[in-house]
Structure 1
Amino acid sequence: MATGAPIKYLQLAAELRRGIRDGAWPPGSKLPTEAELAATHALSVNTVRRALEVLAAEGSVERRQGAGTFARQASRPPRARRRIAVVLPERDWYFPPVIAGIEAAAARTRTTIDVHTTGYAAPGWERFTRLTGRLAGADGLLVTHPGPADAATPAHARLLRKLPLPYVLLERAPSGIDDPSEHVSTDHAGGAYLALAHLAALGHRYVALACRTGSAPSRGISAGFAEGAAALGLRVTARFNWPPITQCDSFEEVLAAQPTIADAALSTVLGSGATALVCFGDMEGAALLAAARRSGVRIPGNLALISCEDKHAATEQVPLTSVAPEKFRLGGLALETLLRRLDEPEAESRQVWLRPRLTVRESCGARAANPS
């Protein structure tokens, strides 16, 4: 028992310190009494007293004779400069706002970041494996693995968990309920539900989905679309699988293929009787708008359209209503989560889903009060 007591009081001190720092007890507020803390944490009063003495010695609390223990603004020493490796599939298409969020958080926290890219799918995993052996000197790792799914395969998940650095997954989910990996990711399923809920509120009952296959968000969007349609009593009349962008596709090849694909998607959706369409992402949304113009289909008169992305949605000829991932915030929160892990190795794991933001524009037949 004697050897365990110091661990217990230090654990309690760390928990109370986090509570003060996170605002559970703002500066000047009174903490629970020693007896109350002992009862709620199943500890002896002596153990609680030792924890409070640690906090008082460092200036986190003030102990007032006869009045109790009061929170103070904790004076934390400056954090040592950290070097964080950021490993992403690419840095020019989806991830620029994510990188900007990481850079902004790094500037606030004395952190140096090094960004590396791997590409996607099997070649990306090969480069990822080689790269992780060359990260000597980094204190931690923010990683978006090459996918294509948001969750790694069991073999790739084991590879991640064997990394010699603390890491946080960014826009990637743990591989299963047994995977303790910390992550900060977009709730794509929740975003699809937001789109359907808005369409249902406008009176639409027959809906369709056009989703790019082979992309990490597609699984969440598809699952959220199916669950949301069932919950809202909507009938799904069509699902169009937009072909994936492969490793060898150039940007010019991708753009050249869009009109033919979009014509087929529009024909499938309208032929199914749908009055509203959710698509991923706004590149596909722009292609569908162009296909509608070619065929004389009115957006939103004949078909309401919502995009699950917001990179160019506001600048289209018919501005697209969008469900937009909070990419800047996501990058900053991922770095904050990793720095927390480095500062407090025993802290509880953080697995965060960020809900996207619905921005209403003309393409679904209704304007927001203050459209962006």
Structure 2
Amino acid sequence: MTVGTGIKYMRLAEELRRGLRDGAWPPGTKLPTEAELAATHDLSVNTVRRALEVLAPEGSVERRQGAGTFARQAPRPPGVRRRIAVVLPERDWYFPPVIAGIETVAARTRTSIEVHTIGYGDVGWGRLERLVSGLADVDGVLVTHPGPSETAPPDHARLLHGLSVPYVLLERAPFGIGDPSEHVSTDHAGGAYLALAHLAALGHRDVALACRTGSAPSRGIREGFTQGAAALGLRVVDRFDWPLLSRWGTLEGALAAQAPFAEEVLREVRGGGATAMVCFGDVEGLALLAAADRAGVRVPGDLALVSCEDRHASTAPVPLTSVAPEKFRLGGLALETLLRRLDEPEGELRQVWLRPRLTVRESCGAAAFGARSFRPGAYGTGAYEPGAFGPGVANPS
């Protein structure tokens, strides 16, 4: 990687500062040597040395004679009551509204937050382990762990249970029925039920599901769909595991990569007689919408679509009805839960499920007058709680 034009050492200092902030080097860990940084960034050792000399007075790093350069915990700002580490898989795709909710509560409560990103899967778990081992001078941790991986879940649970400060799982369920971890999470199973209840109210009886693999919400969406269809008397034509072909990159690139699978799913769904489909997430819904357009299948005339994410749904060629997690509220409530634990160490345990919102748009044929939002109680029993359809739904993530 080559640092571009401008004052090279200042640009490198900013890049290192960003890496420190995002958790590339947790507090107490050693940075690459000057020679390694010079080789990686195609710079001279002298330029690297000047960049580190910029960071040292800020307190970002500590230079130890004969030992190297180490990441440091920044000093607590004046007037701040508490410092909270926020650990997320990423900060640009799913989590911006979550971070905004955290920041709003932090400003009101004089709380300092530091956001670290770790990635997904086994790589993310490795980074999380290194990060939590180096956390210093924080009062608590909000953590969205990397989700499914090949490592046994009990190992993951022990990693978080071993934290020396209180933590709250954010958008992640506890690891099992005996896990006492506090959490604030989206009730994805309830969201899938909301989608099916709306489709059933429109007269659809034959439904299908396409659900992204390798994603933490998928289990809850699958269980809510299966048990919700049974409760509503719907026929499930098929359930598709949608391969995660592109998590990052452009939306256009993701849609192009997923086009062949979308066309295959569409053929099977139509061949099986489904008139409505639930998709997780928006990219998968957009890919199906594009495949339908190419095949001459009308949405919603021939096939109604409901997405589960609501990131790109409103801008689709046929705007998608979508199950939308309450992300802003999720982040704020998670921080409130953690601050309450710090204030009341012996208080009751809180494990909170937030039911998502259903925003109705044109893709299911019931939004002639624009988008409408439905919240808990809009359909059927209205009193649905996690687990209402049977065992297993209570911990859907």
Q: What TM-score range do you get, normalising by the shorter chain? A: 0.7 to 0.9
- Please say if residues 170 and 185 of structure 1, whose CA atoms lie closer than 8 Å, have aligned partners that are also in contact: yes
Residue type of the alignment partner of 2:81? R
- Tell me if the contact between 2:361 and 2:370 (Cα under 8 Å) persists in the aligned partners: no
Is this contact kept in 1: 2:189–2:225, CA < 8 A? yes
In structure 1, what is the equivalent of residue 106 of structure 2? 106
The equivalent residue for 1:283 is 283
Farther off after superposition, 360-369 or 269-278: 360-369
What per-residue deviation string (whole Å, max 9, x for no partner) do you get for residues 296-350 of structure 1? Answer: 1100000000001111111111111011000000000000000000011010011
Q: Report 1:51-200 matches (<5 A).
A: 81-148=81-148, 153-200=153-200
The 8 Å contact of residues 282 and 311 in structure 2, kept in 1 or not, is answered as: yes
Q: Contact 1:98 / 1:329 at 8 angstroms: preserved in 2?
A: yes
Contact 2:245 2:257 in 1 (8 A): no
Write the distance in 2 (CA, Å) between the matches of 1:157 and 1:337: 20
Inter-partner Cα distance in structure 1 for 2:345 and 2:161: 16
Change (3 A) 1:190 1:311: same
Partners of 2:84 and 2:256 in 1: CA distance: 38
SS in 1 for 2:353: strand
Q: Which residue of 2 aligns with 1:212?
A: 212
Residue 245 to residue 100, structure 1, CA distance change in 2 (3 Å) = farther
SS of 1:216 mapped into structure 2: coil
In the alignment, the residues of structure 1 paired with residue 152 and residue 249 of structure 2 have an alpha-carbon distance, to the nearest angstrom, of: 26
The structure whose Rg is larger is 1
Equivalent pair of 1:97/1:328 in contact (CA under 8 Å): yes
Which moved further from structure 2: 360-369 or 257-266? 360-369
CA contact (8 A) 1:152 1:175 kept: no
Conservation of the 8 A alpha-carbon contact between 2:246 and 2:254: no
* TM-fit CA distance, 1:283: 1.0
In the alignment, the residues of structure 1 paired with residue 100 and residue 317 of structure 2 have an alpha-carbon distance, to the nearest angstrom, of 28
Q: Is the partner of 2:104 in helix, strand or coil?
A: helix
Alignment of 1:229-244 (within 5 A): 229-244=229-244
Q: Residues 15-49 of structure 1, C-alpha deviation per residue, up to 9 Å, x if partnerless?
A: xxxxxxxxxxxxxxxxxxxxxxxxxxxxxxxxxxx
Root-mean-square deviation (CA, aligned residues, Å) is 1.8
User: 1:271 aligned to 2:288?
Assistant: no
Which one-letter code corresponds to 2:301 in the other structure?
A: G
Cα distance in 1 for residues equivalent to 2:92 and 2:255: 16
Give the unaligned 5+ runs of structure 2.
Answer: 1-78, 373-397
Shift of 1:254: 3.3
What secondary structure does 2:103 align onto?
A: helix
Deviation at 1:370, TM superposition (A): 5.7
Between the aligned partners of 1:272 and 1:187, the Cα distance in structure 2 is 29
Cα separation, 2, equivalents of 1:196 and 1:347: 37
* Whole-angstrom distance in 1 between the partners of 2:312 and 2:303: 20
Match in the other structure for 1:314: 314
SS of alignment partner, residue 347 of structure 1 = coil
How many residue pairs end up in the alignment? Answer: 292
User: Take 1:106 and 1:85, find their aligned partners in 2: how far apart are those partners?
Assistant: 12
Please tell me whether the aligned partners of residues 360 and 368 of structure 1 are also in contact (alpha carbons under 8 angstroms): no
SS, match of residue 141 in structure 2 = strand
| Residue range with higher mean Cα deviation, 256-265 or 307-316 | 256-265
Q: Does 1:226 align with 2:226?
A: yes
Alignment-derived partner of residue 351 in structure 1 = 351
| Offset from partner CA, 1:140-174 (integer Å, 9 cap, x none) | 0000001127x981111111111111000001001
- Unaligned ranges ≥5, structure 1: 1-78
Contact (CA 8 Å) 1:240, 1:268: kept in 2 or not? Answer: no
Q: Which residue of 2 aligns with 1:29?
A: none
Residue 255 (structure 1) shift: 3.8
Question: What letter is aligned with 1:282?
Answer: D
Q: Structure 1 residues 310, 109: closer, same or farther in 2, change over 3 A?
A: same
Deviations 1:45-75 (A, max 9, x none): xxxxxxxxxxxxxxxxxxxxxxxxxxxxxxx
What's the offset of the Cα at 1:268? Answer: 1.7
Counterparts of 2:101 and 2:148, CA distance in 1: 23
Counterparts of 1:320-331 in structure 2, within 5 Å, are 320-331=320-331
Conserved? CA contact 1:359–1:368, under 8 Å: no
SS of equivalent to 1:311: coil
Query: Structure 2 length as normaliser, TM-score?
Result: 0.71
Percent identity at matched positions?
Answer: 74
Measure, in 1, the Cα distance between the counterparts of 2:287 and 2:118.
28
Partner residue of 2:302? 302
Q: Flag the 1:152–1:87 CA change in 2: closer, same or farther, 3 A.
A: farther
Give the CA deviation at 1:272. 1.2
CA distance in 1, matches of 2:337, 2:105: 11
